[in-house]
Amino acid sequence: YGAVFLMGGVDPVLVGMLEEALVGLTAETPLRARAMARLAAARQPSAPAERPRDIALGLAAVELARRVAKSHELLDVLHSASGVLYGAVNPKIRLPISLEQERLANQLGNTTLLLNARTRISLDHLELGDFTAHAQLADSYEELADRIGPAAGPWRVPLMRSMDAIARDDFAASEQFQLEAKRLEHGQPRARRALAFHRICFLAAAERHAELRAAIPELRGLWLEMPYGAVIAEPRVAHMLARLGAEDEARTLVARLPDHVFAEGINASWLAEALWLTGDVARALPLHAQFKAQFDDPHGERWQMYWFDCEIVEAPAGRLLSYLAALTGAWDECDRLFTRAVKTLEAVGRRGMVARMRFELGDLMLRLDRDPPRARTLIAEGRADAAACGLVELVELIDRRHAGVIVPPRPTVANQPFAMTLEGEYYAIASGSGPLRFKSSRGMQYLAKLVDKPNVDVHVLDLVGSSELPDRGDAGEQIDSSAFRAYRARLGTLRDQLEDAEEIGDTDRAERLRGEMESIAAEISSSTGKGGRARRAESPVDRARSAVQRRIKDALDRIAEADTELGKWLRRAVRTGNYCSYRDID
């Protein structure tokens, strides 16, 4: 009874039974650890004031199990305790626990908990903004799903890859992956909900406002179908209304939200986006403190996860936290968070969100009468960035709110077209600060090729001079699939025999069976590599994209060091991804 998890709902009978059990389980035993972990998860979603109690209980259960439990018992505790951690606890704390669950589940042949661990690890990588690790996890999840079939949820893999494409503004690739996910969802309600959430968030990321507005009734309905949806639905709608710039609608919706909706930590980021638009300082003050305690990590940026299953993060949390800081008058904090978030987004290639952020902060600064010249510059830069990224409906939104915004001209000499001229081993560039010369590095060569073909998308393989066709590449598996199935079948048999031995109290036989299970688990672990992942070779496209992005970034950094304004302009004009381009944005 207690092993059945109910997402978003609390079973008071189960909670009462577990609380009663803990009263009688006073000794530090594996059973006490299991009851602690299960109780912590069973109480969710608990009231915000009670959630720290439950998180502490879950973490204490993990520590106790590590001291006193056997591998299979520890695995159960890790799985249960994670139910209280996700959505509430920093991913830097969660990730080691989920990696431990992955390792144990792989060793013990527990496919269900192995899939569960990898699903949670995916969320951790996304919240940490580690899209390289996230892409590698998609490969390992795909290998596992290929063995298991539809029960593994193979639709997750293309959604993972869709998110990785969104992170580099490759919206065309994202749509193709979404179509693949739809083909694999096999009518599963959970999959359909995940795909719908993913699609709606994609429309927001791609700034497709007309389609996003049309999807709002579906969004509200999806949330209201869920057990905790009544608390979550309206903040998610307010968040999307803010994306559309629908100020009157957002203000009306936010005004009717009860206090307990604002107190729910899950809603903090979505309400923050609505308050950016409505400018409600009274609501911003407590929300700023709540959001800051949850997301402001001095050791690194944490991204906003949309929801479980849908494989979407929107932006670093510093984006919205900076706006709340501005609304409360904490301008130094605002500048720090805004700058850090922009750098994080630029590093992964999410330039469309950078364009939106410049517009959003400039818009807010004007409404708060904070440094109007800088505010207008930010809005103009945001509009230019949006135009360079092809985000037509974002440009239209900026124009509606700020008619007549002046886009800064390109910083070149006498308004001549930007050009890079090869002179021996150096490239010469004319700029407003005088002629510049740069060593002909790989990055400069790639940049020059793009500048020579303005407004043309160039595939990375063409850019690096490779005739190799794009493919996914595969180094093959480190363990034969038939051998893997044999190992798993034997583990299943041993597990049944172990249960029989434990039932009749045959401790000697139980120990022998556990020893054989651990030996098989060790063999699987050594054969499959770290975490049980099949080692796949990176595809030519992935290698080329990573190399090109790194080298072009180095080239742009060198230009920016010599001429700051030219560097800023070029960063708006140059796009990298599977296809790269230089956009003439005058």
Side chain identity at residue 39, one-letter code? L
Is residue 464 within 8 Å of residue 544, measured between CB atoms?
Answer: yes
Helices (H) and strands (E) in the chain, counts: 27, 8
The whole-number pLDDT of residue 481 equals: 58
Listed residue (460, 481, 478, 477) closest to 469, CA to CA: 460
Residue 154 is predicted with a pLDDT of: 95
**pLDDT (tens digit per residue) in 519-529:** 776 666 555 54
What gap in Å lies between CA 433 and CA 101, rounded to an integer? 57
pLDDT band for position 468 (50/70/90)? very low
Q: According to the model, what pLDDT value does residue 3 have? A: 66
Regarding predicted confidence, which is higher, 416 or 353? 353
Tell me the whole-structure pTM to 2 decimals: 0.73
Integer Cα distance of 80 and 369 in angstroms = 50
Instruction: Name the more confident of 200 and 151.
Output: 200
pLDDT at 520: 73
Task: Note the pLDDT of residue 403.
Answer: 85
pLDDT confidence bin for 435, thresholds 50/70/90:
confident
Specify the residue for token string 């830097």.
92
Q: Which amino acid is at 585?
A: I
Q: How confident is the model over 169-178, as a mean pLDDT?
A: 94
Instruction: Determine the average pLDDT of the residues in 14-33.
Output: 94
Contact 346, 323 (CB under 8 A): no
Residue 560: band (very low, low, confident or very high) from pLDDT cuts 50, 70, 90? confident
Q: How far is CA 520 from CA 16, 30, 52, 143, 517, in A?
A: 39, 24, 39, 20, 5
- Using alpha carbons only, give the angle 395, 398, 400 rounded to the nearest 5 degrees: 110
Sequence-ordered strand ranges (E) for 291-411: 303-305, 313-316
